[in-house]
Every structure is written in structure tokens, then in C-alpha cells.
Amino acid sequence: MENHTKEELQDPTMQVSSLNCIDLANDDLHRSVVSLKQACLDCGFFYVINHGINEEFMDDVFDQSKKFFALPLEEKMKVLRNEKHRGYTPVLDEILDPENQVNGDHKEGYYIGIEVPKDDPDYDKPFYGPNPWPDSDVLPRWRETMEKYHQEALRVSKDIGRLLALALDLDANYFDTWEMLGKPIATMRLLHYEGVSDPSKGIYACGAHTDYGMMTLLATDGVMGLQICKDKNAKPQKWEYVPAIKGAYIVNLGDMLERWSNGFFKSTLHRVLGNGQERYSIPFFVEPNHECLVECLPTCKSESNVPKYPAIKCSTYLTQRYKETHAELSIYNQEI
């Protein structure tokens, strides 16, 4: 929390959320599962500590991310997002809350997924493919750093997945199969926010949304900005800041897990407000395999609690959600 200004911390109107903290190194598995379950039922947001990713490495990933965004726009446009949803997304490319936003999000980003080469039988699937990479002469070691981070974050996701399975009364390995997290769609996204948000004018660093997948592991540089709204139907809505804890992930559940759990586990509305400071974050979005049928889990239904959501294939669901929130790629053709 070292980056918070005195004014922020003294502002009595600034609501701060307190979240459960899951320690992955804790031997008391039962206690971790109880605490996790409570967080999932309450708001689907929690901290994860002792995940095994070392802090110096994390700092290195953030340094490399900053180096990329500091490049001239022309250089960044060379790795513009492709139809597989990999690569650079310019400022305003995405609009997460069209009803309340005048323009798109005031952030730029870079999507990196699992490297799927051309000769892989899954290559034709929409979210699998090779990543575009910035020129290694321009950014040496960049690709290696990002690929290593992707692997490590995926390992942590699988560890959390086991606790989630237990919290859902499933076998601990339930999400470890090929169609779940064995060959998942797992996308990390470097983000860079700038500017001051003004909700009264519809200007947001990142508009209010829920995440689409199973869960998201968020790392930030400590600059305040993320807010959650536990009750989206409250009028007026109450937004609470989620402070960063050095070395901890902020993890939140996404809509697929809400569907899987029949609405039992929450995918909570969140957004980012800019305060004029530059802010860097790296969400790691965990979605199951393309082919995975997201349907009510066996432990979440009964005669009196029938499935609320129809079953849907992961890639169909994700394609739809990306389409709703990202600009058509063709708009960039005239600009470069």
C-alpha cells in the first residue's frame, strides 16, 4: 500500500473493502477451504498469498511491461491485436460498460495467451494461436519474461482451482482434466492506465464489468484504482476500493464459475478509477478449454434448486463476450 497518498487514506468518504486472505502455504487445508468458500459466497474477491512467485521476478515483469508501453505508438501498432485476441490494444479499444461510458476505457493493453503453433490440431480454434512478440532487438528478454510469468501464474491458478473444487464439494482434481484446466484458454494482459476518471462525465479507466471466465489473478503496481460493487442492484450503487497488498494476488471469480455453481459463487461487478497517477496492472484470466461445456456442477443442483443457466461451450461464450466489448479490428486499417 506504499503508493497511497495521504489524502486518499484520510478521505473519510473513501470506502475500503476488507477481503479474506488465502495462504497457499497454510497446512490447514480445511481452514483455507472454509475461508475461500465464504469469500466466494460473499463477493467472489479474495487475496492469495504465499503463491510461490518471487517478488523480484514480479518486479521484473512489471519493468518489462512499462518498457513496452513506453515505446512509440508506431512501434506498438506493429503488434496490434490480431483476430486470435493476442497483442496490443490501444487506448479506447475496449468499452466494458457502454451504458455508462462516453468513450472506451482509458487504458492500453497487451494480450498474451498460450503459444499454440500452426501444426497443432487446435490451431484453428479462435483463442489458440501464436502470440505476436515485440522485436527482441527493441525489447530483449521480453518474450522469455512474459512466457515464464504465464507458466507460473497458470500453476498458481491450478492450485487455487483445487481449493475451489473442494469449496464446491467436488474432488480436489475436478478442474485438472484436459477439458478444464489441462489445456485451458489462459490469457494474461498487461495494462497501463493514465488520466483522471470522472464517473459524472462517463469517463473511466476501466468501465464496470464482471470477468468472463473461471477466475482472474490480478497483480498491480500498488497504485489505488480498483473498486468493487457487491450489490449491482442497489440504488445508488456502493463502490469500495480494493487496496493492493504487496506480494499478494487479488483474485476474483468470473461469470463461468458463477454459471457452473448455479449462482452460488459470485462474479462481482468491478471497475477502475484513474486518479492521475500512472497505473500498471496484469490480470491473468483463467478460462477452461475451448471445448469445455460450462454447465451446472453436480454438487450445485437439486430438485428444489434446478440449474438457472443453460449449458454453453466455453469458446462460444467467450467469443460473444469479446465481441461485445472490443472495437472491430477493421477500424485500425485506415490509421496505420
Q: Which of residues 178-217 bind Ni ion (CB under 5 A)?
A: 211
Q: Which residues have CB under 8 Å from 52's CB, separation 6+?
A: 24, 152, 155, 156
Partner whose binding site includes residue 273, from Ni ion, ligand OGA, none (CB under 5 to 8 Å by kind): none
Closer CB to Ni ion, 40 or 300, in the complex: 40
Residue listed under C-alpha cell 494476488: 249
Range list of H helices, the chain: 6-10, 29-42, 55-69, 73-77, 142-167, 255-260, 314-325
Partner whose binding site includes residue 116, from ligand OGA, Ni ion, none (CB under 5 to 8 Å by kind): none
- State which H helix or E strand residue 249 sits in: strand 249-253
**Dihedral (Cα; 24, 280, 237, 12), 10-degree rounding:** 90
Partner whose binding site includes residue 87, from ligand OGA, Ni ion, none (CB under 5 to 8 Å by kind): none
Closer CB to ligand OGA, 156 or 191, in the complex: 191
Neighbours of 138 (CB within 10 A): 12
Under rule CB under 6 A, residue 287 binds ligand OGA: no
CA dist list (Å): 28 to 156, 161, 282: 18, 17, 29
Closer CB to ligand OGA, 48 or 300, in the complex: 48
C-beta nearest to ligand OGA: residue: 281
Please state, in angstroms and rounded to a whole number, the distance separating the CA atoms of residues 185 and 81: 16
Q: Which residues have CB under 8 Å from 184's CB, separation 6+?
A: 114, 154, 286, 287, 288, 289
CA dist list (Å): 24 to 51, 163, 289: 6, 9, 25
Shortest distance in whole angstroms from residue 117 CB to Ni ion? 29
Closer CB to ligand OGA, 258 or 297, in the complex: 258
Shortest distance in whole angstroms from residue 140 CB to ligand OGA? 26
- At position 319, the amino acid (one-letter code) is T
Partner whose binding site includes residue 218, from Ni ion, ligand OGA, none (CB under 5 to 8 Å by kind): ligand OGA
Q: Which of residues 253-282 bind ligand OGA (CB under 6 A)?
A: 270, 272, 281
Per-residue x/- mask for ligand OGA, residues 181 to 220, rule CB under 6 A?
A: ----------x--------------x----x------x-x
Please state, in angstroms and rounded to a whole number, the distance separating the CA atoms of residues 311 and 296: 7
Shortest distance in whole angstroms from residue 107 CB to ligand OGA? 7
Closer CB to Ni ion, 152 or 211, in the complex: 211
Under rule CB under 6 A, residue 226 binds ligand OGA: yes
Shortest distance in whole angstroms from residue 191 CB to ligand OGA? 5
Shortest distance in whole angstroms from residue 50 CB to ligand OGA? 22
Residue listed under C-alpha cell 457487491: 230
Please state, in angstroms and rounded to a whole number, the distance separating the CA atoms of residues 59 and 149: 11
Q: Which of residues 243-272 bind Ni ion (CB under 5 A)?
A: none
Closer CB to ligand OGA, 262 or 325, in the complex: 325
DSSP 280: E
From 44, 113, 274, 283, residue interacting with ligand OGA (rule: CB under 6 A): 283
Buried b / exposed e over 281-302, threshold 16 CB at 10 Å, is bbbbbbbbbbebebbbbeebbe
Task: Give the residues lining the site for ligand OGA (CB under 6 A).
Answer: 191, 206, 211, 218, 220, 225-226, 270, 272, 281, 283
Task: Give the residues lining the site for Ni ion (CB under 5 A).
Answer: 211
